[in-house]
Amino acid sequence: MLDTHARKYVSPFIESGANFFIKLKLSANDVTTLALILGIISSIFLYFDKNVLAVVILWTSGYLDAVDGAIARKTSTSSSFGTVLDITFDRVVEIGIILVIGLKFADTRLSLIVLLASILLSMVIFLTVGAVSEKNGVKSFYYQAGMAERSEGFIMFSLIMLSQNYVNIIINIFSIIILITAFQRIYEAKKILK
């Protein structure tokens, strides 16, 4: 929801980041890889109880994840492989955080299984609709907006990192939001696909 509706407000910040990395001669895929590395580092900091630093690095990773697409559009280097890298690396970052949460908080494991199942269901719908849809947008594939997009995921992960007494509650709310998104996406798919 935030990725779709707040984009216009953060777009100048994303564009300036893209210009900066273009001047450094970094490609969109280079910045995608940098976002992945920072996302993994965020998980490592979370594991070692450097929670505020983990949150800052996670959001930096997310910022770079937005910048890479702007670089690809500005340099006319958008590619299907870049899209695959971007979506895959996003999931690797999320998996890293979820694994660390599971390692640190044994009592959250059932909730994390439900969260992972919710993410899997939502992503299957998202990717399938993107693959079979003829519609295109700013991105290199059809992007289905929903209640839970990447920014909402980062907000929930940040809350988990910073509010460790409420980890199970936050994970369960996160799962519900993702399931609502899955139902939004399947409903939209029914309307736009034949």
Specify the range with the lowest mean pLDDT, choosing from 36-50, 106-120, 122-136: 122-136
Specify the range with the lowest mean pLDDT, choosing from 4-18, 48-62, 73-87, 105-119: 4-18
- Binned at pLDDT 50, 70 and 90, residue 100 comes out as very high
- For 184, residues 6+ apart whose C-beta sits below 8 A from its C-beta are 144, 146, 147
Task: Set out the domains of the chain in order of their start, with CATH numbers.
Answer: 2-192 (1.20.120.1760)
Helix ranges restricted to H, 48-79:
51-74
Place of tokens 């409420």: 166
Q: What is the pLDDT of residue 59?
A: 97
Q: What is the pLDDT of residue 164?
A: 87
Q: What is the pLDDT of residue 137?
A: 55
Mean pLDDT computed over 168-178: 95
Q: pLDDT at residue 175 above 60?
A: yes
Mean pLDDT computed over 154-161: 95
Give CA separation, 185 vs 75, 130, 138, in Å.
Answer: 31, 11, 18
Angle between helix 167-192 and helix 109-132 axes, rounded to 10 deg: 20
Q: What is the pLDDT of residue 138?
A: 52
Mean pLDDT computed over 36-55: 98
Q: DSSP character for 134?
A: -
Mean pLDDT computed over 46-55: 97
Dihedral sign of CA atoms 144, 145, 147, 151 in order: positive
Q: What is the pLDDT of residue 101?
A: 96
Helix ranges restricted to H, the chain:
2-5, 7-23, 28-47, 51-74, 80-104, 109-132, 150-162, 167-192
Q: State the Cα–Cα distance between residues 29 and 181, nearest whole angstrom.
A: 28
Q: State the Cα–Cα distance between residues 85 and 79, nearest whole angstrom.
A: 10
- Binned at pLDDT 50, 70 and 90, residue 129 comes out as confident
Q: What is the pLDDT of residue 176?
A: 95
Give CA separation, 52 vs 7, 57, 83, 144, 173, in Å.
Answer: 25, 9, 30, 31, 22
Contact 180, 149 (CB under 8 A): no
